[in-house]
Amino acid sequence: MPAEARRVYDVREVAGAIVDDGRLLELCADWARNMVTALARIDGRPVGIVANQPRRLGGVIDAEASEKAALFIDSCNRFGLPLVVLVDTPGFMPGSGQERAGVIRHGASLLRAFAGARVPKLTVVLRKAYGGAVITMNSKDLGADLAFAWPGAEIGIMAARQAVGIVHRRRLEASPDPGAMLAELEAAYAAEHLNADAAAAAGYVDEVIAPAETRARLAWALGALER
């Protein structure tokens, strides 16, 4: 995972570090590449992996990504495969083109798929989850059995810069140094509203875990939910 929050990475490398022997069987790899769907094992147990792909479109959720994930989730539920969801997305793709493509309809199908799945469902927020994606990507509200977040994860309605630009627009316009003020307000907003500990305190996630603990915590959770 890059230290710089705006740098892209391949989520398949993160998934590979979590699953047995680093082996992923990716399905529909050439369709909706901003969403990864794959089969793997964790501690010997077969699982379905659903992951936003920051390497493609920043991991944004569009109509095709929603449809792809929903179909995969339904298949995993049908065959009794637990779901492991890796989240790093700025939210849903806006725009009239996406509206025509059916992003609302397919986004609703993704919500329905997660909510309707009766298999064990685990979520890990890797770096960010904003807007509707906070709920849609297997949130506690949709029935996730356990939700984890990495320490640097940001979870909220929108990114700090966008929120500050709306809330403090007049202060920024009146400031002699709007760039410095923006950076200061951004940091304060993120620290108070977006950090993983705040999300845990609010009940959006169950536990903040170190990246190195992810595989062990998922293996433990899968074992506990199996019994």
Q: What predicted TM-score, i.e. pTM, was given to this entire model?
A: 0.88
Cβ distance 114 to 121 under 8 Å? yes
Which range (10-24, 69-83, 158-172) has the least confidence? 158-172
Q: Nearest to residue 84, comparing CAs of 57, 53, 120?
A: 120
188 confidence band (pLDDT: 50, 70, 90): confident
User: What is the average pLDDT across 165-191?
Assistant: 77
pLDDT at residue 160 above 70?
A: no
CATH topology for the 11-153+195-218 domain: 2-enoyl-CoA Hydratase; Chain A, domain 1 (3.90.226)
DSSP letter at 118 equals -
- Cα separations in angstroms, 89 against 65, 100, 160, 171: 12, 22, 14, 29
179 contact partners, CB below 8 Å, separation of at least 6: none
DSSP E strands, the chain: 25-27, 35-42, 45-52, 83-89, 121-130, 146-149, 154-156, 207-208
* Cα→Cα distances 218→18, 84, 139, 171, 184, Å: 8, 8, 16, 45, 36
As annotated, the residues of the chain forming the CATH 3.90.226.10 domain(s) are: 11-153+195-218
Q: Tokens for 177?
A: 């140094």
User: Could you tell me the two tokens for 145?
Assistant: 């059995």
